Amino acid sequence: MFQGNYIVQEYVSNFVGFTSRLAVAVVVAASLVGCAGFKNHPDAPVVAAVPDYNYIVGPGDTLNIIVWRNPELSQVVPVRPDGQVSTPLVDGLMAQGKTSVQIARDVEKELAKYVRDPVVTVIVTGFVGPYSEQIRVVGEAAKPQFLPYKQKMTVLDVLIAAGGLTDFADGNKATLIRTAEGNKRYNVRLNDLIKRGDIDANVDVLPGDILIIPQGWF
């Protein structure tokens, strides 16, 4: 009986030791995989602003169309989901994907059929922008959302708009996908930026960037 108990105890001890070593191995492997994924992408360039950027109009924007000397033709209109706008004498004008100056010239061309030498100014008063220009933040942000791009916009601006990180975020393993560069992936250090105040971790974003914030291992 004593010999049998000793054998059972030894078997249990060996099994517990094996499972403990296996658990450690799994954790180490997961850490290595995480680190490998983390190092697969280069750091995002700090400066990436577009110096000659012009805002592109998209569905949901609001346009103030002013026709000089013709107040009855001037209106504030929304850009419809199909990207078009309608004003007096102008119906179904495509606005999506154009600048305010381009839209003004298009309106002038249409109005010239009815009004002599029209002079039009278009002012964008509500900003959404086309999907291709929007900044998207997903994952462990407090408020995942899309944002209209603004000149010299940075990752810090995006995080402020998104309400910061959740308690489960692994900010230093966040990925910035740059659609303007064929979906090239960059590493961004969000924890260093907002928790340690490392301003070198604040990088510019470009139109169409996607910020993915993963959940950390705890």
pLDDT digits (tens, 9 = 90+) for 90-114: 999 999 999 999 999 999 999 999 9
31 φ, ψ (degrees, to nearest 5): -65, -40
User: Starting from the edge strand earliest in sequence, which strands make up the sheet with 210-213, in order?
Assistant: 145-147, 135-139, 210-213, 174-178, 184-188
More confident residue, 51 or 167: 167
> What percent of the chain stands above pLDDT 70?
81
Q: What is the pLDDT of residue 218?
A: 57
* pLDDT confidence band for 36 (50 / 70 / 90): very low
In eight-state DSSP terms, residue 208 is T
Quickly state the pLDDT bin for 50 (edges 50, 70, 90).
Answer: confident
Q: Which CATH class is domain 62-126?
A: alpha beta
pTM: 0.76
- Closest of 212, 91, 74, 206 to residue 153, by C-alpha: 206
Domain boundaries, the chain: 41-52+131-213, 62-126
Q: What is the 3-state secondary structure (H, E, C) of 100-165?
A: HHHHHHHHHHHHCCCCCCCCEEEEEEECCCCHHHCEEEEECECCCEEECCCCCCEHHHHHHHCCCE
How many C-beta atoms surround the C-beta of residue 69 within 10 A?
10
The predicted pLDDT at position 49 comes to 66
Average pLDDT value over all residues in the chain:
85
Confidence grade of residue 82 (pLDDT, cut at 50, 70, 90)? very high
Q: Do domains 41-52+131-213 and 62-126 have the same CATH topology?
A: no
Dihedral angle computed from the Cα positions of residues 83, 86, 87 and 90, in that order, rounded to the nearest 10 degrees? 100
The sheet with strand 120-126 has its strands ordered as: 75-78, 62-67, 120-126
Interval 51-66 mean pLDDT? 93
- At 111-135, the pLDDT tens digits run 999 999 999 999 999 999 999 999 9
CATH topology for the 41-52+131-213 domain: Outer membrane lipoprotein wza fold like (3.10.560)
Distance separating alpha carbons of residues 210 and 213, to the nearest angstrom: 10
